[in-house]
């Protein structure tokens, strides 16, 4: 086995020492020195990396503290308890002022809606069965809640008066949103009611069937002496005399359900106005509309004539409600 000799020579006059080591021992020492060198270099580099990461974390923490301080106080100064209370009071005052303004606007809107319903003849949005419901009773209970009390308006959102926030000193944002939703639904219902009422009025006869102002009633609705038999019989319409061939107009919006000739009434037009109401225009000279045509009030539908069982030029005007003839004279408006 190969061996190595290591001489240890002191700087003074001490005795020189010889150290004999085997080859594998020398290799082991060299390997140990190299390993120690790599370990030292690795630990040193790791120390540097950790130090940098710690510095970055410290900087991030300082930045977060700075941002929080700026969010609390934009001027970068620390807020005192008095300053914080003043800011909170100012924010609360601004919020309450906004809530008061919104509440006032909603209250005015509610009053306008109530007036509109009264003018249109619609019933106010109040519970129709509030007293009956209270009298029935249904075994309810529980401890009183801690939140501010609000008036109970009934279970039917569509018939209750939507004034949830009126009378409350500090309504919450949720109550304001709920009130806005109720106001929107109620106003949408009011618009729908107005459209329905407008449509009903458009389909209700309310004018004379003759356009010419040279007109007069020659025979009213009710019992009369029949001009052909001289016997008392019921007259189902209103006879209106006007110039021969003068225009005849629809007295309301509707759909033509018949335009042709009948034995006694001659040339006749029948219009269905919906809701069980019809108008008939008889003894015409000419029909200017056909079955299935949609007409509006004031539309010219025919001309005045003398066809059928008639003694002279006139229009026989009838109004039917739910299949029964009624006094058409009550629907004549100038």
Transcribe 120-147 into DSSP letters: HTPPPS--TTHHHHHHH------PPPSS
> What per-residue confidence (pLDDT) applies to 250?
97
Shared-domain flag, residues 171 and 239:
no
Shared-domain flag, residues 189 and 223:
no
Shared-domain flag, residues 225 and 324:
yes
254 versus 135: the higher-pLDDT residue is: 254
Last residue of one domain, picked from the residues 17, 37, 57: 57
> What per-residue confidence (pLDDT) applies to 35?
53
Q: How many domains does one find in the chain?
A: 3
Shared-domain flag, residues 155 and 253:
no
Shared-domain flag, residues 51 and 109:
no
Cβ atoms 256, 271 nearer than 8 A: yes
3-state helix vs strand vs coil in the chain, percent to 5: 40, 25, 35
> What per-residue confidence (pLDDT) applies to 161?
44
Tell me the C-alpha distance between 302 and 307, whole Å: 13
For the chain, first and last CA: distance in Å?
142
pLDDT digits 0-9 by tens, 207-245: 999 999 999 999 999 999 999 998 999 999 999 999 999
> What per-residue confidence (pLDDT) applies to 94?
75
> What per-residue confidence (pLDDT) applies to 180?
75
The structure tokens listed for 73 are 């106080």
Run of H or E residues at 44: helix 23-72
Shared-domain flag, residues 224 and 266:
yes
Shared-domain flag, residues 220 and 295:
yes
Run of H or E residues at 317: strand 315-321
Does 288 map to a domain?
yes
Does 315 map to a domain?
yes
> What per-residue confidence (pLDDT) applies to 178?
75
> What per-residue confidence (pLDDT) applies to 271?
98
Shared-domain flag, residues 255 and 304:
yes
Does 137 map to a domain?
no
Closest CA to 156 of 118, 189, 205: 189
Task: Give the model's confidence band at 298: pLDDT under 50 very low, under 70 low, under 90 confident, else very high.
Answer: very high
The structure tokens listed for 55 are 């510095």
Q: Taking 80 as the threshold, does the pLDDT of residue 119 lie above it?
A: no
Does 130 map to a domain?
no
CB-neighbour burial class of residue 304 (10 A; exposed 0-12, middle 13-18, buried 19+): buried
Shared-domain flag, residues 299 and 235:
yes
Does 290 map to a domain?
yes
Cβ atoms 249, 211 nearer than 8 A: yes
Contacts of 20 (CB under 8 A, 6+ apart): 3, 4, 5, 6
Lowest mean pLDDT among 20-24, 57-61, 236-240: 57-61
Cβ atoms 128, 135 nearer than 8 A: no
pLDDT digits 0-9 by tens, 122-169: 766 654 343 434 444 445 555 554 444 444 444 444 434 445 555 555
Q: Taking 90 as the threshold, does the pLDDT of residue 198 lie above it?
A: no
> What per-residue confidence (pLDDT) applies to 47?
47
* Count of C-beta atoms within a 10 Å radius of residue 16: 8
Shared-domain flag, residues 232 and 278:
yes
- Predicted structure pTM score: 0.56
Lowest mean pLDDT among 29-38, 42-51, 145-154, 313-322: 145-154
Does 81 map to a domain?
no
Cβ atoms 279, 271 nearer than 8 A: yes
Shared-domain flag, residues 196 and 251:
no
Q: Taking 80 as the threshold, does the pLDDT of residue 266 lie above it?
A: yes
Shared-domain flag, residues 37 and 99:
no
Does 146 map to a domain?
no
Q: Which domain holds residue 116?
A: 86-125+151-202
CA distances in angstroms from 281 to 190, 260, 268, 295, listed in the order given: 36, 11, 5, 14
Does 144 map to a domain?
no
Cβ atoms 267, 261 nearer than 8 A: yes
Cβ atoms 323, 272 nearer than 8 A: no
Q: Taking 80 as the threshold, does the pLDDT of residue 68 lie above it?
A: no
Question: Beta strand 266-274 with 254-262: parallel, antiparallel or unpaired?
Answer: antiparallel
């Amino acid at each position: 086995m190969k061996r190595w000799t290591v001489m240890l020579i002191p700087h003074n006059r001490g005795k020189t020492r010889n150290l004999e080591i085997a080859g594998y021992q020398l290799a082991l020492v060299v390997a140990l020195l190299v390993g120690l060198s790599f370990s030292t270099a690795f630990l040193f580099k790791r120390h540097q990396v950790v130090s940098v990461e710690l510095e970055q974390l410290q900087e991030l923490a300082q930045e977060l503290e700075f941002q929080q301080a700026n969010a609390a106080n934009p001027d970068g100064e620390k807020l005192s308890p008095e300053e914080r209370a003043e800011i909170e009071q100012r924010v609360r005052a601004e919020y309450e002022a906004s809530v008061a303004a919104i509440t006032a606007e909603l209250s005015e809107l509610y009053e306008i809606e109530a007036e509109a319903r009264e003018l249109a003849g619609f019933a106010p949005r109040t519970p129709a069965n509030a007293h009956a419901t209270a009298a029935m009773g249904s075994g309810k209970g529980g401890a009183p809640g801690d939140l501010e009390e609000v008036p109970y308006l009934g279970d039917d959102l569509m018939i209750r008066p939507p004034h949830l926030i009126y009378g409350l000193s500090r309504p919450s944002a949720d109550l304001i949103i709920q009130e806005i939703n109720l106001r929107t639904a109620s106003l949408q219902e009011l618009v729908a009611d107005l459209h329905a009422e407008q449509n009903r009025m458009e389909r209700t006869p309310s004018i004379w069937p003759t356009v010419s102002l040279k007109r007069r009633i020659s025979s009213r609705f009710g019992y009369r002496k029949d001009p052909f038999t001289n016997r008392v019989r019921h007259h189902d319409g209103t006879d209106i005399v006007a110039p021969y061939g003068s225009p005849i107009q629809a007295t309301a919006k509707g759909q033509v359900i018949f335009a042709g000739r009948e034995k006694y009434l001659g040339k006749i037009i029948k219009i269905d106005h919906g809701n069980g109401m019809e108008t008939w225009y008889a003894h015409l000279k000419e029909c200017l509309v056909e079955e299935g045509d949609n007409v509006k009030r004031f539309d010219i539908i025919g001309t005045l004539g003398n066809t059928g069982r008639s003694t002279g030029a006139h229009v026989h005007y009838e109004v039917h409600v739910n299949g029964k003839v009624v006094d058409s004279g009550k629907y004549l408006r100038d």
